[in-house]
Amino acid sequence: MVKYLMFCVCVAAGYVMYSSFPVSHGPGITAQNEPKIDRLTWQEPFTFKGATLEPKRIIEAEVRVLDKKRYFFDPFSRFSPSDLVVGWKEMSDERNISYIYHTLSERTFESRFTKSPIEETMIQKQSDLWHLIPSTSVIDEKIKQLREGHIIKVRGLLVDVEYDAEFKFKTSEKLSDRPNRNGFVVWIEDFEIR
């Protein structure tokens, strides 16, 4: 019985360690284009887990995961259990991002770097914070499997979230070259790990 228990503990520890190792692609840009954010002609607000989601824009993107964090206890975790810092163009190249460190905490992120080969404005312009709202349990399971370095392809909506009178979360609606403190709230309809 003790041997079986030890085996289970070792397997679980191995899985946790494996899932925390980044995916390496070697030097070179791995996500060529910036996210495409388009106007929404019209779409009614809809409900999800008791909250009202108001669509603002359409988003399609292929980006690299620079950092990830799963939340369990904050008010937003019921709808968006995971946050990602994502990058594209120069911020998807390991030659650049190996010098840049991201800290994700309390639904915001900070970038720190030592002798980065690219300018700070480019770091801010080619990376962002995404709060992911999976539209299905299948997508949620895929998000749980994400590791730093994965390339993901996403299609969905940028949405504002309102839950009761006390909780409101507004999405950013356009890319910027300044730090994005709010981030994009992404209702994910299609999700693919490459």
SS3 121: helix
* Cβ neighbour number for residue 179 with a 10 Å cutoff: 15
Token pair, residue 125, equals: 């312009």
Asked whether residue 176 is domain-assigned, the answer is yes
Q: CA-CA distances (angstroms) from residue 79 to 22, 68, 134, 161?
A: 26, 16, 8, 9
Indicate whether 69 pLDDT > 60.
yes
Asked whether residue 5 is domain-assigned, the answer is no
For the segment 46-51, the average pLDDT, to the nearest whole number, is 94
Asked whether residue 147 is domain-assigned, the answer is yes
Close Cβ partners of 157 (under 8 Å, ≥ 6 residues apart):
40, 43, 53, 55, 56, 57, 58, 59, 186, 187, 189
Asked whether residue 85 is domain-assigned, the answer is yes
- Pick the closest to residue 136 from 82, 94, 188, 100 (CA basis): 188
Indicate whether 145 pLDDT > 90.
yes
Q: Give me the pLDDT at residue 1, please.
A: 63
Helix segments in the chain, DSSP class H: 2-20, 94-97, 120-125, 137-144
Asked whether residue 19 is domain-assigned, the answer is no
Do you know the residue count of the chain? 194
d(Cα 66, Cα 129) in Å, to the nearest integer? 10
Asked whether residue 184 is domain-assigned, the answer is yes
Tell me the residue range of the domain where 75 lies: 25-193
Token pair, residue 157, equals: 């909506």
pTM: 0.86
d(Cα 153, Cα 33) in Å, to the nearest integer? 11
Q: How many domains does the chain have?
A: 1
Least confident stretch, 61-65, 118-122, 152-156, 177-181:
177-181
